[in-house]
Amino acid sequence: MNKKCYNFFEMGKRKPSYYEESNRKRFEELSGRLKSLPFFCREYFIGIEPRTSVLTRLNYARDLEIFFHFLHDNVAGFEYIGIDELTMTDLEKIKTSDIEYFLSYITYYEHNGIRYANGEKAKARKLSAVRSMLRYFYNKDKLSKNVASKVATPKLHEKEIIRLNDHEVKTLLDAAESEKKFETPHKDAYNLNTRERDAAILTLFLGTGIRVSELVGLNVTDINTEENAFTVTRKGGNRTTLYYSPEVGEALSKYIKTREKRLFEAGDTAEDALFLSLRNKRLCVRAVQNLVKKYTGTVNPLKEVSPHKLRSTYGTALYRETKDIYVVAEVLGHRDVNTTKKHYAAISEDIKREASSRHILRSQDKNKK
């Protein structure tokens, strides 16, 4: 979005949404990173803009920055060329073996003074960034070959999907509503100031399956308490309406009353964000992640539970209740139902087993001798 658009917001006609503000920050970071990349990268990022989100392009820019630093520091023929001086002629020099070396290199590496480690999933994403760029220029007839197409994608091993069972869900929500649950009086005292908020957050995760980015982006005006519904901005910016149970509605209503009281006492009634910090500012993603980790740690310290695990818990429950993968995909906001199938394949086995046990080949007449 250009400067003129943001001046429109600054004039007071409309305050930018959380989604718009997040995209603005990402766009600014992307613009800054492009300055340190080869000049031809500008053409590439402009070319893929119509079919990618700004977050995707930003992640590609981060990964390509690592790739070009790798070439400069590790591949013969690139050491005497500044990264911002690379040309299409230099891209022609890249070999399949260089990209394979890159994938090995990023297992453990250092960038800007920070040490990193990459597993198979992170390697696959970085390979995707390199492939996308080389494929773009190959399709534009600016490269004679696409060497990245010959590099095998790292084998991805499916990780066990961690969910909370029914008992753990009940214990978690009871803990969130309890006055005393932590190891020190100080932490319990702090909890009294956030109890309604934290209970509403956990209940909303477990009762609707929304993403953490969607939760922190909610405004109080997005909630329709009469219809037990709320409007959420999905990945990509699409707005959709989701519905929640009376139990979720009760937790939200309690928190909203507390929220309004806090803002009134602080003389700050203009804040739009639904979930606020103790400073009456919108909670960030990291704060919510820490919040979930703190509470779930009191329930089962052996399970590393993130907001996404709570989302999986809801998806599991919804699938068991509806036995309809398409409903689950729609509610969770999956564009491809195969994504949903992959995550809930284990439950499919339960459903198939139950269905087979109910299938009767020959009815038996008890009165027949």
For residue range 24-40, list pLDDT tens digits in order: 999 999 999 999 999 99
CATH number of 3-150: 1.10.150.130
pLDDT in tens, 34-90: 999 999 999 999 999 999 999 999 999 999 999 999 999 999 999 888 998 999 999
Instruction: Give CA separation, 272 vs 14, 76, 104, 220, 226, in Å.
Output: 12, 55, 47, 6, 19
Q: Cα–Cα distance between 299 and 188 in angstroms, integer?
A: 16
pLDDT for 266 equals 86
pLDDT in tens, 298-335: 777 777 888 888 988 888 888 888 888 888 888 888 88
**Could you give the residue numbers annotated as active site?**
211, 235, 308, 311, 334, 344
The tally of CA atoms less than 13 A away on the side-chain side of residue 34 is 16
The CATH architecture assigned to 166-354 reads: Orthogonal Bundle (1.10)
CA 337 to chain centre: 17
pLDDT for 1 equals 36
Enter the pTM of the model: 0.79
Contact 155, 146 (CB under 8 A): no
Comparing 3-150 with 166-354, is the CATH topology the same? no
Query: Which residues does 249 contact at the CB level (< 8 Å), separation at least 6?
Result: 225, 228
Beta-sheet pairing, 223-224 with 114-117 = unpaired
pLDDT for 5 equals 42
Q: Cα–Cα distance between 30 and 45 in angstroms, integer?
A: 10
Mean pLDDT to the nearest integer, 107-115: 90
Where are the chain's structural domains? 3-150, 166-354
The owner of tokens 């600054």 is 10
Q: Cα–Cα distance between 254 and 271 in angstroms, integer?
A: 18
- Percent of the chain topping pLDDT 70: 84
